[in-house]
Structure 1
Amino acid sequence: MRKLSLAVIGMYISVLSAYSQSTSAGDSSHYKSKKLNLDEVNLVTGYYQQTGDHSAVTGGVGTEALNDIATTIELRLYKYDRKQRRHNFNLELGVDHYTSASSDKIDPYTISSPSHSDTRVYPSIGWTVQNEEKKTTFGLTGSLSNEFDYQSYGLGASFTKASKDNNREFSARAQAYFDTWKVIYPIELRGGAEHNEESSPRNSFSASLSLAQVVNTNLQLLLVTEPTYQNGLLATKYQRVYFTNSDVKAETLPNSRVKIPLGVRANYFLGDRFIVRSFYRYYQDDWGVKAHTLDLETPIKLTPFASLTPFYRYYTQAAADYFAPYAQHTPAEAFYTSDYDLSKFHSQFFGAGIRLVPLKGVLGIAKWNSVELKYGHYIRSNNLQSNQLSLHIKVK
């Protein structure tokens, strides 16, 4: 039952997406196995540590100290069918454990409530079939996630079509998540008919449309949009809101939300040793949040077997219509939150990663293809700070 900052979520998404690079549909060998083969194994483990003084659990004031350790293992397998189509199977299991000082304030009279720490388990499975002749890929995914007050089930489908010369690629993806929350109120607000819900659903439906284009040997572009619609319980009921008349209530937000991000990515190759990767995204939703993101990453090949990747991200957003700081909401408002993730702020995230790909394998182990260590530091204008460290091991 944690209220993680957007930074930690973004870290794990970026780590896993960066490391889970797709295997090329082409195969240089003449023989294509019709048996199921192990392609590679990816192990990603990360540590996240956060401090801050605007906890939403206590109405926008108080500690946001949090620690999280996450580990994900992914198995990638493949086989060819009689029509020489390549079938890829991804099996993934993730486990993370957190401790949160602010969550323990839901009931401050306990020594250590269940919300103070928890373990989340999230397995997933994916399948894609690649038709090399038609330049198409179709895929399906399924996922589960479980912790003591929260369960989620996810389904997804994807389609990709490349041009004959492989210089252009269109991708479409649709995903749906069906979540169930155990509704928990702050200790002083429990009791009464309005606070007796046991559980409540939340559904999320998203799509992704992207178009990638190789402009020339140095420049690649990608345009992407990822609209999302959510409905159900979108407020976090154990987060308090304090009013100008000294009343205290549980956070209340609309039961639907529409998010529309638009992004453009440009990768430029400066010879054999340098790459400039840039990404800009504009975001808007019907809660009044508008945001801009600028991402820069510059992998530098130090040797044929080692590379260094410094990165920097700047983010700025306008506050949601329903946000106000501690004790600044008025009793007449229908929706209200003091969650600083929905406030006006700007943030920076910067750091570097180092990747080793020895010719004879890491530590002389031939199957141990590569190892990468990445560190990032996050600072936000409302005093939230975090440190993030991740390690990726690939066996191939």
Structure 2
Amino acid sequence: MKKLTVTVGLLLSLFTARGQGQQPAQTTSYTSRKLKLEEINLVSSYYEQDGNRSAVTGGIGTEKLTDYATSLEVRLSFRDKRNRLHTINADGTIDYYTSASSDNIDPRTISSASMSDTHRYGTLSWSVKNEVTNSTAGISGYFSKEYDYVSRGLTLSLAQASRDNNREVSLKAGAFFDTWSAILPAELRSLTYGSGAKGDFAPIDYKPRNSYNASLSVSQVVNKRLQMLFTVEPSYQEGLLSTPYHRVYFTDGSERVEKLPGNRMKLPVGMRASYFLGDKTILRFFYRYYMDSWGMTAHTASLEVPVKFTSFISLSPFYRFNTQTAVRYFAPYAKHLATSQYYTSDYDVSGFDSHFVGTGLRVSPPGGVLGIKHLNAVELRYGHYYRTTTMVSNIVTLLMKIK
């Protein structure tokens, strides 16, 4: 089922810049090549949402959903004979969700096949840093599997830092290849077309969706207090970009499945800044402008203010605002003309404003949390989301860092 991956979205808001002008020590002599465990990050989250604008039922009906997710990241490193630093990252996530809106794909049954599901995805990354040339190259592979799709991806990255490490230019390029099960609403499939449910051996269609993206970013230490990053991230999608079990109702009373163009260009441009007010307070600001070939434009801005109460306890309140216009193919329930070439009643691509507010509490004592030496830090975050389409959600995330 197509849905928001909440854990990753929350962790991306934790933008951490490098220290105030401090530069990493250059290693010039050969050291042991033994594989070293750098750190382990364990993240668990609970997410819930509700609303009454479900695309499954044509822009009306329940959007109730719950999601329990657990993610484990392991970072290893070693040095080769040329004293280059190799870093290996392996992370995997399992989340279990229940969705009342998906249960309406086939309302004639007691429970449709995608009412609940387990989503599994993981990434394996390898990067090599040459501390003589201040350059880093990396590669990562991605795999994801859910009830109605399988995704595989590959990303390549290059980064070049200045001699003083105050500036870095990085470039990433990735490709993702998805296969979707074309699950249709019960009343819109033929008698010979399967439901996609386990135990139903009637055939269904499988459709591709390919995504290609790139990212160019420049980070700069402006002075001891201010650090900035600018990024542009163009992407292109092709294949099945609509969701076959999303219903659309028309002004003449007819009903069809959602239909959208088979390609889409996206262009986000963003900026991040970290300003150190002193030893105890940091201002972290983010802004992004977005536009795409379907006619959507959006502005997103966020502010996070971590404040240290002691050397090992900090509080990080945050707020994010987003406003977007609708794609040209959107219309509410029963407002589409039957002559339209493309149509959707998915409020995710409608025009709306949204607000996301919350805070995080981080504890990182020098002797380890609860006296456990290697439990370096624990952080608990809570966020509340609301958008003007009436959808609301809450998320609680627990992060534990072991070093």
TM-score normalised by the chain length of structure 1: 0.95
Structure 2 CA distance for aligned equivalents of residues 21 and 216 of structure 1 = 13
1:164–1:259 CA distance, 2 compared to 1 (3 A): same
What SS does structure 1 have at the residue aligned with 2:103? helix
Q: Which residue in the other structure is 1:366 paired with?
A: 373
Report the RMSD for the aligned CA atoms in angstroms: 2.1
Q: Which residue in the other structure is 1:89 paired with?
A: 88
Structure 1 CA distance for aligned equivalents of residues 76 and 184 of structure 2 = 45
1:148–1:9 CA distance, 2 compared to 1 (3 A): closer
Structure 1 CA distance for aligned equivalents of residues 41 and 17 of structure 2 = 10
Shift of 1:193: 9.6
Q: Does 1:382 align with 2:381?
A: no
Aligned ranges 1:46-57 → 2 under 5 Å: 46-57=45-56
1:331–1:48 CA distance, 2 compared to 1 (3 A): same
1:20–1:394 CA distance, 2 compared to 1 (3 A): farther
Alignment partner of 2:9 out of 6, 9, 13: 13
1:17–1:176 CA distance, 2 compared to 1 (3 A): farther
- Contact 1:26 1:132 (8 Å CA) reproduced: no
Comparing 221-230 with 184-193, greater Cα deviation is found at 184-193
Q: Which residue in the other structure is 2:356 paired with?
A: 349
Comparing 319-328 with 28-37, greater Cα deviation is found at 28-37
Aligned ranges 1:273-288 → 2 under 5 Å: 273-288=280-295
- Contact 1:75 1:91 (8 Å CA) reproduced: yes
What SS does structure 2 have at the residue aligned with 1:114? coil
Alignment partner of 1:227 out of 234, 238, 252: 234
What SS does structure 1 have at the residue aligned with 2:259? coil
Q: Does 1:394 align with 2:401?
A: yes
Q: Which residue in the other structure is 1:304 paired with?
A: 311
Shift of 1:143: 1.1
Structure 2 CA distance for aligned equivalents of residues 388 and 27 of structure 1 = 41
What SS does structure 1 have at the residue aligned with 2:284? strand
Q: Which residue in the other structure is 2:69 paired with?
A: 70
| 1:165-199 Cα shifts (integer Å, max 9, x gaps) | 11110010011110000100100000189997510
| 1:292-345 Cα shifts (integer Å, max 9, x gaps) | 001101110110011100000000000100000000000110000000001110
Q: Which residue in the other structure is 1:322 paired with?
A: 329
Q: Which residue in the other structure is 2:210 paired with?
A: 203
1:127–1:74 CA distance, 2 compared to 1 (3 A): same
Aligned ranges 1:7-46 → 2 under 5 Å: 8-9=4-5, 11-15=7-11, 18=14, 26=25, 32-46=31-45
Q: Which residue in the other structure is 2:198 paired with?
A: none
- Contact 1:252 1:336 (8 Å CA) reproduced: yes
- Contact 2:30 2:81 (8 Å CA) reproduced: no
What SS does structure 2 have at the residue aligned with 1:97? strand
Q: Which residue in the other structure is 2:97 paired with?
A: 98
Structure 2 CA distance for aligned equivalents of residues 234 and 300 of structure 1 = 43
Partner AA of 1:14 in structure 2:
L
- Contact 1:72 1:95 (8 Å CA) reproduced: yes
Aligned ranges 1:99-178 → 2 under 5 Å: 99-178=98-177
Comparing 48-57 with 22-31, greater Cα deviation is found at 22-31
1:340–1:28 CA distance, 2 compared to 1 (3 A): same
Identity, % of aligned positions: 52
Partner AA of 1:172 in structure 2:
L
What SS does structure 2 have at the residue aligned with 1:18? coil
Structure 1 CA distance for aligned equivalents of residues 110 and 341 of structure 2 = 34
1:25–1:81 CA distance, 2 compared to 1 (3 A): farther
Unmatched segments (≥5 aa) in structure 1: none
Structure 1 CA distance for aligned equivalents of residues 293 and 306 of structure 2 = 37
Partner AA of 1:96 in structure 2:
D
- Contact 1:95 1:120 (8 Å CA) reproduced: yes
Comparing 19-28 with 213-222, greater Cα deviation is found at 19-28
Shift of 1:114: 1.6
Alignment partner of 2:256 out of 246, 249, 258: 249
- Contact 1:25 1:130 (8 Å CA) reproduced: no
Structure 2 CA distance for aligned equivalents of residues 354 and 140 of structure 1 = 33
1:200–1:21 CA distance, 2 compared to 1 (3 A): farther
What SS does structure 2 have at the residue aligned with 1:118? strand
Structure 2 CA distance for aligned equivalents of residues 264 and 294 of structure 1 = 10
- Contact 2:294 2:328 (8 Å CA) reproduced: yes
Partner AA of 1:343 in structure 2:
S
- Contact 1:211 1:224 (8 Å CA) reproduced: yes
1:101–1:266 CA distance, 2 compared to 1 (3 A): same
What SS does structure 2 have at the residue aligned with 1:263? strand
Alignment partner of 2:296 out of 289, 295, 299: 289
- Contact 2:365 2:376 (8 Å CA) reproduced: yes
What SS does structure 1 have at the residue aligned with 2:14? helix
1:332–1:314 CA distance, 2 compared to 1 (3 A): same
Partner AA of 1:138 in structure 2:
A
Structure 1 CA distance for aligned equivalents of residues 7 and 193 of structure 2 = 37
TM-score normalised by the chain length of structure 2: 0.93
What SS does structure 2 have at the residue aligned with 1:303? coil
Structure 1 CA distance for aligned equivalents of residues 27 and 365 of structure 2 = 22
Structure 1 CA distance for aligned equivalents of residues 273 and 120 of structure 2 = 35
Structure 1 CA distance for aligned equivalents of residues 335 and 118 of structure 2 = 35
- Contact 1:297 1:310 (8 Å CA) reproduced: yes
Partner AA of 1:221 in structure 2:
M
